[in-house]
Amino acid sequence: MDFLELAKNRYSERYFDNRPIEQEKVDRILEAGRVVPTACNYQPQRFYLIRSEEALRKVKTVTSFHYNAPMMILVCYDLNEVWTINGDRYYSSYNSGEQDASIAATTMMYEAEELGVHTIWIRGFDSKTVVDTFGLPKNMIPVMLLGLGYPNDRAKANAWHYKRNPIEEFVTEL
């Protein structure tokens, strides 16, 4: 499929069935997140697989936005490995971690779609609670949960998915 067509058709899945995702597909999705561009190629993105019953139960204690996805990837960045810059007038101390992790998550999301695996981007959680619940190192900063799975018979895009503002609202030539 053409990439732009894939990007237009991909939607946030809210209705998963319980079929497990084949390991070869999981491996390709993770590889897509590994090879992304990051600031100065520092590669601070880290992925935690959540697919055991126990780990999925823990997800339900940190967010109500789980949609019963049979697998999740907790996408984080390592605060000790990010590119930083001081002196920006808007950010007193900027680091690239959230952007780098978001690039990785987005790329994994599109690779999953290419493989027929649906996804949903989840950010309705408290980061410290996630770190504490999963026993992550304190330098690991959660950015999002990527819910993954196959759609069930109720699966469909929300009505607002296909609403797109005109390109003129996004582009200004300087």
Mean pLDDT by 10 residues, the chain (174 residues): 92 96 98 98 98 98 96 98 89 92 98 98 97 98 98 92 94 95
Query: Of 4, 47, 35, whose CA–CA distance to 146 is shortest?
Result: 47
Sign of CA dihedral 130, 104, 44, 97: negative
Judge whether 143 lies within some domain.
yes
168 belongs to a structural domain: no
Q: Encoding tokens for residue 169?
A: 């609202």
Structural domain span for residue 53: 3-149
**pLDDT value at residue 11:** 95
pLDDT of residue 165: 95
- Specify the pLDDT at position 115: 97
Tell me, yes or no, whether 29 lies in a domain.
yes
pLDDT of residue 92: 81
Number of domains in the chain: 1
pTM score: 0.95
Annotate 22-31 with b (16+ C-beta within 10 A) or e (fewer). eeebbebbbe
- Starting at the earlier edge strand, list the strands of the sheet with 140-149: 45-50, 71-78, 140-149, 118-122
The per-residue pLDDT for 39 is 97
Does residue 154 belong to any structural domain of this protein? no
* Beta carbons of 69 and 16 less than 8 angstroms apart: yes
pLDDT of res. 91 = 82
Q: Is residue 62 part of a domain?
A: yes
Can you give the CATH number for the domain in which 74 is found?
3.40.109.10
- The answer to whether residue 112 sits within a structural domain is yes
Q: What is the DSSP string of the chain?
A: --HHHHHHH--B---B--PPPPHHHHHHHHHHHHSS--GGG---EEEEEE-SHHHHHHHHHH-S--TT-SEEEEEEEEGGG--EEE--SS-SEEESHHHHHHHHHHHHHHHHHHTT-EEEEE--S-HHHHHHHHT--TTEEEEEEEEEE-B-TT----GGGG----GGGT----
